[in-house]
Amino acid sequence: MKKKIITGLTMGEPAGISAEISLKVWKNYRKKIDPFIFFGDPEHLKKTCSKLNFQIPIKIINNINECVEIFKDYFPVYNIKLSEKARYGSPSVNNAKEVLSSIKKVTKFANNKKISCIVTNPIEKNTLKKKIKSFDGHTYYIAKLLKTADPVMLLTSPKISVVPITQHLSLKNAIKAISKKKIINTVETTNKYLKIFFGKKYPKIAIASLNPHGGENGIFGNEEKKIIIPAIKRIKQKKIDVYGPFPADTIFSKKHLLNFDVIICMYHDQATIPIKTLDFENGVNVTLGLPIIRTSPDHGTALDIAGCGKASEKSLYASIRMSQSIARKRKFWIQ
C-alpha cells in the first residue's frame, strides 16, 4: 500500500478567519501540498464559501484515508458540528467545547499514527478560558493532552527563527519565571529538534539579553550576571554551540540573523516583534518537544476582518508545508 502524508487541520475560532484561510489554502495551493482534513463544521465552511463567493465543494469524510482520493476535487471535513451558528467577529463561549474538541481529536489521531501531523488554526484564548480556567494556549494544552512537560515554541520563517523562554505571561511574571534551568532546558530542546526536524547537524544558537545593553555589568539589572551567563556556561559544557548574551537591540540585525540558526529570547514579545516585523506572512509556529508534529500560523484570529475576504492564507500555507516536510523527514507515513 502506498505511503501517504495526511495533515489534520483544526477549526480554530469559528468567528475568526480560520475557515476563510483554510478554504483559500485548498483553493490556491491544493496541488502543491499533501492532503489535509479540516476538523470542523461543514455548514460553517459552506456559509463562508457563500459569503466570499468561493465555488468549493465540501465533503464530509468518515475514514481518514478517504481524503487522499478526494483532496484534489473536494475540501475534506471531519464533522464537528458547532453548538450555535458562528457570527464573524463575535466569538461565543457556546462553541468553545467544539473548538477544544477539534484540537483534542487531531492530537489523538496524530498520537495514534492515524494522521502524520497537525496544524492548528488561531483561537481566542479569552473565550476558551471561560470554558477551562487553566487554558493558556495551544502549546501547553496539547502538551498536557500528550502528558509532555516543557514544550518549546519555535517561531520560524525563511528570514528569522526565534524561541521565547517564557510564553503567555505578563512581562512582570515573565521576568520572574526566567531561571538557569529554564534557559538550559529550552536551549537543549531547541538544539535537539533543530537537528531532528530541520536537519541542522550543528545548530548555532544565540541568546538575547533581558536588560538594556546586556545589563552593563549590573548597572541596568543583574539577570545577565546571575542567571543568563551562568546558564550559557553550563550549556557550553554540554557541547552545544551557543553564544551570548547579546543586547536585544542588536541581535536581530542582518549580520546576526545570517550567523545564527535561532535566537533564544527572554520573553514573548522580544521574540514575536522581530519575526512579525521581518516576515509576518511566512511565520510558522512549531512546537518542539512533543511526540507529534504540530505547527500553526504565526498570527491571531483577526476578528476585525473575519468574513471580509481580506485575510491572507500564506502563513497557514507555510505551516502546512512545514508540518508535511517535517513528517516526511521523520517518516511519519500513513498507510
Residues 155 and 182 placed together within one structural domain of the fold: yes
Provide the pLDDT for residue 130: 92
Q: Contact 149/188 with Cβ under 8 angstroms?
A: no
Which residues form the domain of 204? 150-288
Sheet hosting strand 262-265, strand order edge to edge: 58-60, 75-79, 36-40, 7-10, 117-119, 294-297, 284-288, 152-156, 161-164, 262-265, 204-208, 241-246
> What total of structural domains would you count in the chain?
2
Residues 180 and 258 placed together within one structural domain of the fold: yes
Which residues lie across from 87 on neighbouring strands? 90
Residues 2 and 144 placed together within one structural domain of the fold: yes
* DSSP code for 228: I
Provide the pLDDT for residue 335: 79
The continuous run of DSSP H or E covering 187 comes out as helix 180-198
Provide the pLDDT for residue 75: 98
Closest-CA residue to 233 (of 275, 197, 302, 187): 187
Provide the pLDDT for residue 216: 72
Provide the pLDDT for residue 311: 96
Closest-CA residue to 125 (of 151, 82, 103, 96): 96
Residues of the chain with pLDDT under 50: none
Q: What distance in Å separates the CA atoms of residue 60 and residue 76, rounded to the nearest whole number? A: 6
What's the pTM value of the predicted model, to 2 decimals? Answer: 0.95
Provide the pLDDT for residue 218: 72
Q: What CATH number is associated with residue 12?
A: 3.40.718.10
Residues 109 and 120 placed together within one structural domain of the fold: yes
Provide the pLDDT for residue 7: 98
Cell 476585525 belongs to: 304
Residues 162 and 261 placed together within one structural domain of the fold: yes
Provide the pLDDT for residue 215: 63
Cell 549580520 belongs to: 255
Residues 235 and 335 placed together within one structural domain of the fold: no
**Cell digits for 185?**
532546558
Q: What distance in Å separates the CA atoms of residue 246 and residue 235, rounded to the nearest whole number? A: 16
Residues 233 and 244 placed together within one structural domain of the fold: yes
Residues 2 and 142 placed together within one structural domain of the fold: yes
**Cell digits for 65?**
484515508
Residues 276 and 330 placed together within one structural domain of the fold: no
Half-sphere exposure of 224 (CA within 13 A, CB side): 20
Amino acid, single-letter form, for residue 250? T
Residues 4 and 75 placed together within one structural domain of the fold: yes
